Amino acid sequence: MDATLIPAFHDALVVAQTGSVGEAARRLHKTASAVSQQIRRIEARFGVALFEKVGRGIRPSLAGETVLGSLTRLFDEAASLETLLGEMATARVTTLRVAASDYLGEALLLPVLRRLFAEGAPLRFEITTTNSIEAARLCAAGQVDVAMVSSDRTQTADETTLAAQPFYWVAPRAKGKRREPIRNRLSREPLLRLGAGSQGRRVLDEYLGRMRLRPLSTIDVPSVSLLLSYVRQGLGVGLVPGLALRRGDRRQLDVERADVPAIDVRLVCRPTLKRTKAVARFLDGLVAETRAAQSLNRAGA
C-alpha cells in the first residue's frame, strides 16, 4: 500500500469514531481543514466517499462502514507494535488506555495507580471517564485496552467478574432520631437520576415501574459523583452503586440498601492486549482492590 496514506487513514478512523471533523481535529491537534483534506486524499485516490452528512454531523457511508473494521485492526496492531518496541527499549514503558465510570475510577482505579507509581511501575495511563455501556463499546472497538464496567449481560471470554455490586438509596441526613425509609421520601423530595443509557438509570427506572412510583420532580445528573455531591448538600434522593460509597464523608447522608438486583462489576480487556508483567500487576491490583472494597462495604452495611 501507499505508506504516505497512513496518516490520512488514521485521521479518517478518528473522524469515524467521533462522528465529527471538528472533534477529530481537536483530538489530533490539527485544524478541521487539514483533517478534511486528508479524507479527500483517500476519496480521490480510490474514488469512494467515506462519509455522508447527517444533520450537523457526519457518519460513515456504506463504503466507510465496510472499511472501518480494517482501519480499526490496522491501528490496533500498530498500537501493539508500539507497546512491544517500547518494552524492548531502555525505558520499557507500557501505555494503557483505561475507560471507567467516575465512581469506579475513584473507588478502584485511583488506589491501584497510587501504589503502582509509588513502586515505580513502568506504565503510562490514558484515562477516559464515561458510563459502563460506552466503556464496553470503546474496548470492543479497540479504542481502549481495559474497561471497568457494570453489567448484567452474559459474561464473555474477555471479561472477569470482580464483584456483585448492590445498590443503595442515599438522601440528605434527616434530623431527629426517628428516620423513615428513604424510599418513602421519593414522593416529597426531588429524585436524582443518572443519564439515560447508564446501568444505574436502567435499574432505577425498572424499580419505579415495578413499584408504580412517580416522583414529584426529577433532576438528571451526568455522574454518580455529582449525584452524591447534590445529596450531601441537601438536595434530592438518589440510587447509587455500593462502590460509590466507599470514599467520602457519610455523616451528611442517610444510606439504605435498595430492593433492586445487584449488578456485576467486570474487568474487560482488549483481546490483543499484551499482558506484560507490569500490565498483570495492574490487573491483579484491580482484583485485590475490589475484594478490599467489598469487605469494607459489608462492614459498613
Q: Which domains does the chain have, with CATH numbers?
A: 3-85 (1.10.10.10), 93-162+264-300 (3.40.190.10), 167-261 (3.40.190.10)
Take residue 165 and report the three cell numbers written for it. Answer: 455490586
Residue 212: C-alpha distances to residues 51, 177, 181, 196, 206 (Å) = 45, 29, 17, 19, 10
pTM of the model: 0.63
50 CA to centre of own chain: 28
CA–CA separation, 258 vs 168, rounded Å? Answer: 5
CA–CA separation, 131 vs 133, rounded Å? Answer: 6
Beta-carbon contacts of residue 134 (< 8 Å; ≥ 6 apart): 99, 197
At which residue does the C-alpha cell 467478574 appear?
A: 161
pLDDT in tens, 234-286: 899 999 998 888 766 677 888 999 999 988 889 999 888 888 888 899 999 99
User: What's residue 169's pLDDT?
Assistant: 93
Q: Give the residue-averaged pLDDT of 160-181.
A: 83
* % the chain with pLDDT above 90: 29
Tally of CB atoms within 10 A around 177: 5
Confidence of residue 182 (pLDDT cuts 50, 70, 90): confident
Contact 257, 87 (CB under 8 A): no
CA–CA separation, 265 vs 164, rounded Å? Answer: 6
Contact 287, 267 (CB under 8 A): yes
Q: Is the pLDDT of residue 55 over 60?
A: yes
Burial 193-230 (b: 16+ CB within 10 A, else e): bbeeebbbbbbbeebbeeeeeebeeeeebebbbebbeb
Q: Is the pLDDT of residue 296 over 60?
A: no
Contact 234, 106 (CB under 8 A): no
CA–CA separation, 209 vs 219, rounded Å? Answer: 18
At which residue does the C-alpha cell 471497568 appear?
A: 148
At which residue does the C-alpha cell 447534590 appear?
A: 230
Return the bridge partners of 94, or none.
123
User: What's residue 90's pLDDT?
Assistant: 52
**Which of 11-25, 174-188, 224-238 shows the lowest mean pLDDT across its residues?**
174-188
- DSSP character at residue 155: P
User: What's residue 77's pLDDT?
Assistant: 80
Take residue 133 and report the three cell numbers written for it. Answer: 455501556
Mean pLDDT for all residues in the chain: 85
User: What's residue 2's pLDDT?
Assistant: 81
Residue among 231, 256, 232, 242 nearest 180 (CA): 256
Question: DSSP alpha helices (H): ranges in the chain?
Answer: 6-18, 21-28, 32-46, 62-88, 102-104, 110-118, 132-140, 199-211, 224-232, 277-300
Take residue 65 and report the three cell numbers written for it. Answer: 462502514
CA–CA separation, 163 vs 292, rounded Å? Answer: 11
Tally of CB atoms within 10 A around 282: 23
Residue among 103, 105, 99, 102 nearest 136 (CA): 99
User: What's residue 32's pLDDT?
Assistant: 92
Confidence of residue 1 (pLDDT cuts 50, 70, 90): confident
